[in-house]
Amino acid sequence: MHGLGNNILTEQDRDNICAFKLCIMSNMSHSVFNQMRHTFGHKLDISSEWVILHRMATLSGVEPKAYDCCINSCMAYTRTHAQKQLCDYCHENHFSLSGKPCQQFLYLPVGPRLTSFFQNKKMVEKLSYRCNYVSEPGTIEDVFDAEHYQTLLKSKVVIDGQEKHWRYFSGKNDIAFSLCTDGYQLLGKRRKGPSATPIVLQNFNLSPEIRIKLDDLICAGVIPSPKPPKDMASFLAPLDDEYVTLAVGLPAYDCVAKQNFTLHAYNIFMEGDIVAMEKMLGIKGHNGFSPCRSCDIKGCRDVTHGGKTYYVPLGLPGLKGKPSKQWNPKKLDKRTHEGFADRLAEIKQAGNKKHAAKLAMHYGIREAPIFGRVGSINYARSCPWDWMHLFLLNVIPNLIDHWTGNFKNLDAGTGTFEIAPQIWAEIGEETAAAVQNIPAAFVRVLSNIAEDRSLFTAESWAFWFMYIAPIVMFRQFKDPKYYHHMCALVEIMKITLQFSITYEEIDILENKIIEWVKLYEE
């Protein structure tokens, strides 16, 4: 195959490939496709869809692997589950009466796709971003400046607990990528409808401007989910196994250097919202006793009113508005990578079930993290809190709920941060009117925040809160301290958004965040 490139493609293949691309990108229906064939028939000879699809499969060399899974998508029949006849969770049959599997999960192997990058000159150049990256001392400008990558550079590869003789990212073509999963509703926004969970890899070897483009994301499959998957590990097992082959190395041919080499690739981060990360790390839910994935803070609940959910304030509730006990935000016990394994072992060794359950609750750990075979992931720290979900989809809408008096049936207590409905309506109108004079390159249309909040996307929240709120909210609170508190969060967000950030700035940021959270709790 090497170097053959275009020679084996006929002119008709090229036309077919272009038609195929058009068909996919525009989500064209069969009838429109046939119409196109007919309309351009006098100039182009486009094959039928069926022929094209099979030709593309042969030419591309992609070999998807189908794994059977439970019809309710509780688990996939991989690894130790392969021979099971019933689902462990819902006891539905593996096979239907006709002997066919009830549901299948299609896994698209990543390795062949990574090696094929090196058959394309432009792609080889694009992928050299990591190798050519020059760090500026004292600042963080990309993932390659941060501690995790830098530590990996100095460490030897660990596969299945065994240390190998080569280091992470020692080859110039080695690829760093991150994994992201996120469930979404297939039909509208109904909570209980059918959903799907795509598995997407982001390639850090590409420069930041292109690594997020659709063309450059690698989708390893879509987990079907009539219900949310219960055993995520079984679905991601093929990927975990592939991480091993990627770490060991795949034979590849570099079309620029014109030589064979061994391609290594490592997953360095796991990304996603809180729920996705809980599943990846096998920790207990976000309402549990020890809910934080980064530290060992323990939650407390409203015992007086029989509350079951644990919350995690820094200061525990006390009398007369004073905290009875406080966690020191600068000295939170951080979780460690080894801690995950040690605690799991402790839970396993517990004498009886009751004790094991108690330990599991105390540590907030349910089961082993999903990606356990290659040592490039630090369970405790390489799962960053996602900026978008954290700030834009949680903290900011919650703040607004507080201001408008809609936050979980809480009133303002002894605070005066609530905004009268007529003022809020006015703010909504001002928001909608403000955007008319802002170029579309900055933000898309914002709707009236008081009336159409459901139309606000993460991007709208970001723009509204950082650039519009400081103006429309000015002098709207009874007490200006709420306005200053809000602006402090805006400032925090602006620092976190910097393209490059120095270590001093991070220290300042940390103090500002602590100050903000402390005030929030007061």
Partner 1 sequence: MLNLWNEKLMINSRYYYQYSEERLSACPLTIHGLLHVADDIRFCGPSWATWTFFMERFIGYLKPVLRSKSQPWSNLNEHVKKLAYLAQLSCHYDLDDELSSYFSKGPISKREHIYDNCKSYYLNFNAGHYLIWQTVNFIVQTPLVF
Q: Which residues between 98 and 117 bind partner 1 (CB under 8 A)?
A: 103-106, 108, 112-113, 116-117
330-369 mask for partner 1 (x: CB under 8 A)?
Answer: --x-x-----------------------------------
Could you tell me which stretch among 32-40, 81-89, 364-372, 493-501 binds partner 1 (CB under 8 A)?
Answer: 493-501
Euclidean distance between CA atoms 47 and 441, whole angstroms: 41
Taking the least distance from each CB to partner 1, the nearer of 332 and 425 is: 332
Bridge partner residues of 185 (DSSP): 195
What are phi and psi for residue 292, nearest 5 degrees?
A: -80, 135
Q: Which is nearer to partner 1, 113 or 362 (CB)?
A: 113
Residues 222-251 as x/- pattern, contact with partner 1 by CB under 8 A = x-x---------------------------
* Nearer residue to partner 1 within complex by CB, 164 or 298: 298
Considering only 36, 44, 56, 102, the residue that binds partner 1 (CB under 8 A) is 56
Hey, CA dihedral for 389, 392, 396, 398, is it positive or negative? Answer: negative
**Contact string 127-166 vs partner 1 (x = CB under 8 A):** -------------xxxxxxxxxx-----------------
Instruction: Yes or no: say if 242 and 65 are a contact pair by the CB < 8 Å rule.
Output: no
- Interacting residue with partner 1 among 175, 206, 292, 347 (CB under 8 A): 292
282 binds partner 1 (CB under 8 A): no
Which part of the chain contacts partner 1 (CB under 8 A), choosing from 88-96, 342-350, 422-430, 506-514? 506-514
CB 25 within 8 A of CB 35: no
Question: Does residue 294 interact with partner 1 by CB under 8 A?
Answer: yes
Q: Check: CB of residue 166 under 8 Å from CB of residue 156.
A: yes
By CB under 8 A, the residues from 362 to 421 that bind partner 1 are 378, 381-382, 384-390, 394-395, 398, 402, 407-408, 410, 413-417
SS3 call for 260: strand
Among 138, 251, 306, 321, binds partner 1 (CB under 8 A): 321
Q: Do the strands 139-140 and 501-502 form a parallel or antiparallel pair, or are they unpaired?
A: antiparallel
β-bridge partners, 181: 199
Which residue, among 307, 327, 308, has the nearest Cα to 316 in the 3D structure? Answer: 327
When asked if residue 96 is in the footprint of partner 1 (CB under 8 A), the reply is no
Query: Encoding tokens for residue 140?
Result: 């963080």
Give the CA-trace dihedral at 78, 84, 87, 91, to 10 degrees. Answer: 180
Measured CA to CA in angstroms, residue 466 lies from 127, 146, 452 at distances of 34, 26, 19
Residue 309 interacts with partner 1 (CB under 8 A): yes or no: yes
Q: Is the CB of 356 or the CB of 487 nearer to partner 1?
A: 487
- Region of 258 (left: φ > 0; alpha: ψ -120 to 50; beta: rest) is left
- CB burial readout 205-230, b (16+ within 10 A) else e: bbeeeebeeeeeebebbbbbbbeebb
Q: Which of 32, 51, 62, 357 binds partner 1 (CB under 8 A)?
A: 62
Q: Does 273 bind partner 1 (CB under 8 A)?
A: yes
Q: Which residues in the 179-218 window bind partner 1 by CB under 8 A?
A: 180, 182, 184, 186-187, 194, 196, 198, 200, 202, 204, 208, 211-215, 217-218
Give the residue from 500, 392, 496 showing the smallest Cα distance to 136.
Answer: 500
Residue 48 interacts with partner 1 (CB under 8 A): yes or no: no
Which of 36, 47, 101, 120: binder of partner 1 (CB under 8 A)? 120
By C-beta, is 218 or 350 nearer to partner 1?
218
